[in-house]
Amino acid sequence: MSEKLFNAFLLKYAEIGVKGKNRFVFEEALEKQVRLHLKRTGGEFEVSRINGRIYCEAKSDYDYDAVIGELKKVFGVVGICPVTHVADKSPEGIMEAAVRFIDDNYPEKNFTFKVDTRRANKTYPKTSMEVDADVGEALLNAYPDLKVDVHTPQEVLHIELREQIFMYSKIIKGTGGLPLGTNGRALLLLSGGFDSPVAGYMVSKRGVYLDAVYFNAPPYTSDRAKQKVIDLAKVLSSYTGTIRLHIINFTDIQMAIYEKCPHDELTIIMRRYMMKIAQHIAENTEECFGLITGESIGQVASQTMKSLYCTDDAVTIPVYRPLIGNDKQEIIDKAEEIGTADISILPYEDCCTIFVAKHPVTKPNLNVIKASEVKLNDVIDDLMEKALESDEVIEVS
């Protein structure tokens, strides 16, 4: 479809339509997000809510692909309809506009169709059925290879009779979910791999703002590994809004674990301390109600049921693992869809890969792990405090 023809975009949302008294809160949040995203396109739009839809009317030239790209990133939007205004509101005006609409948008005029008119303006001189019939006939006369099929048409020409009259036929799939700002905030443990960015996206899609924490281990990990995480946060933020990214220097804790604990338990113990630090950050963040990780059952030794049992024991805050039942390929597919895959695939080392044991335990026993951690007793409080003091916060947007 050619872009110049559309004066507006009609946004459909589903789930938030059924939230009872909260509906207003959800719609306000969605409208706010739509405005923010449209602003990024450089175009000017007037955004309003009508009858359970959001209507974005272009007030300047705009870049069609940029607008669709941004609207596809708004959590809560299920459908995006590029809309054409009908300037002449008379019944004849509508018929002429429909003929032009088909001409402009469909190079091949040999499909089945139906007309679906909604008459919100109850004073319009024709009923919706009459408009359906008139426009259908006008189209058949203009394009003899078209056929009406009211049950399974290839194309539906929607006409809405309101104060203004508009028509559309294309519904571009939106991302779904719930609008940001309707479900508090969570802290994502963000590493450089495929999993954690996707995990953050999945939770945020339910209306949750994100902060993130990355455990850095200089000089064992490089600046480019850190930059990779910042770049991932940047891609995520195009959906989730600004992300406060905490960068924690984890080297001394890792070294202490390495020196004092059995090597086959390194990963689990390290993961437990990451969780503890993350909980601390979450508890000092307003409205932050949970941690998010990219774990999935059995993916690696530290993600068996028994390992997750040990990791989970380290904290009391809820830990969300939205990828728990996903296969790696499903996660990579999603990473490609949301645009994090190209960054995740870069081969830079991370702290887990450097200190990982050759044969990590796959069935850790929590009591054994806890007994090993006792060996850290005289240093760990100090090291935890230092790690938290090292916190470098970067606002990524």
Binding stretches for ligand ATP (CB under 6 A): 189-196, 213-215, 274, 293-295, 299-300, 302-303, 350-352
CB of 87 to Mg ion, least distance (A): 56
- Minimum CB distance to ligand ATP smaller for 113 or for 355: 355
Q: Residue 129, Cβ neighbours under 10 Å: how many?
A: 11
- Measured CA to CA, the distance from residue 184 to residue 208 in angstroms comes to 5
- Give me 60's structure tokens: 């300047």
How buried is residue 99: exposed, middle or buried, by Cβ count under 10 Å (0-12/13-18/19+)? middle
For 271-296, b/e burial (b = at least 16 CB within 10 A) is: bbbbbbbbbbbbeeeeebebbbbbbb
Helix, strand or coil, per DSSP, at residue 219? coil
**Rounded Cα gap, residues 32 and 64, in angstroms:** 20
- CA 289 to each of CA 155, 184, 198, 214, 373: distance values in angstroms, whole numbers, following the listed order: 45, 7, 19, 18, 27
Shortest Cβ 225–Mg ion spacing (Å): 11
Provide, rounded to whole angstroms, the least separation between the CB of residue 212 and ligand ATP: 8
Nearest to 199 by CA among 69, 61, 294: 294
Contact (CB, 8 A) for 344 and 335: yes
**Nearest approach, Cβ of residue 254 and Mg ion (Å):** 14
Element (H, E) at 208: none
Closer to Mg ion at the Cβ: 181 or 192? Answer: 192
Measured from each CB, the residue nearest to Mg ion is 193
Q: Which of 76, 193, 197, 200 binds Mg ion (CB under 5 A)?
A: 193
Q: Please report how close the Cβ of residue 3 comes to ligand ATP at its closest, in angstroms.
A: 38
Nearer to ligand ATP, 312 or 350 (CB): 350
- At its nearest, how many Å lie between ligand ATP and the CB of residue 221? 8
- Shorter beta-carbon distance to ligand ATP: residue 192 or 364: 192
**Which two tokens mark 374?**
């006792």
Tell me which residue has its CB nearest to ligand ATP: 193
**Of residues 5 and 324, the one with the C-beta less far from ligand ATP:** 324
Q: How far is the CB of 235 from ligand ATP (least distance, A)?
A: 14
Helix 305-312 with 266-283: angle, nearest 10 deg: 40
Choose the binding region for Mg ion from 121-129, 183-191, 256-264, 331-339 (rule: CB under 5 A). Answer: 183-191
> Which of 191, 254, 279, 311: binder of Mg ion (CB under 5 A)?
191
> Which of Mg ion, ligand ATP, none binds 196 (CB below 5-8 Å, type-dependent)?
ligand ATP
Nearer to ligand ATP, 27 or 265 (CB): 265
Considering CB under 5 A, how many residues would be counted as binding Mg ion?
2
Do residues 163 and 188 touch, judged by C-beta distance below 8 A?
no
Q: Which is nearer to Mg ion, 117 or 191 (CB)?
A: 191
Burial code of 349-364, b = ≥16 C-beta within 10 A, e = fewer? ebbbeebbeeebbeeb
Using CB under 5 A as the binding rule, whether residue 197 contacts Mg ion is answered as no
CB of 72 to Mg ion, least distance (A): 28
- Rounded to whole angstroms, the Cα distance separating 99 from 5 reads 13
User: Which of 136/193 has CB closer to Mg ion?
Assistant: 193
Rule CB under 5 A: is residue 296 a binding residue for Mg ion?
no
The option from Mg ion, ligand ATP, none interacting with 215 (CB < 5 to 8 A, set by class) reads: ligand ATP
| 175 contacts Mg ion (rule: CB under 5 A) | no
200 part of the interface to Mg ion, by CB under 5 A: no
Q: Which residues form the interface with Mg ion (CB under 5 A)?
A: 191, 193
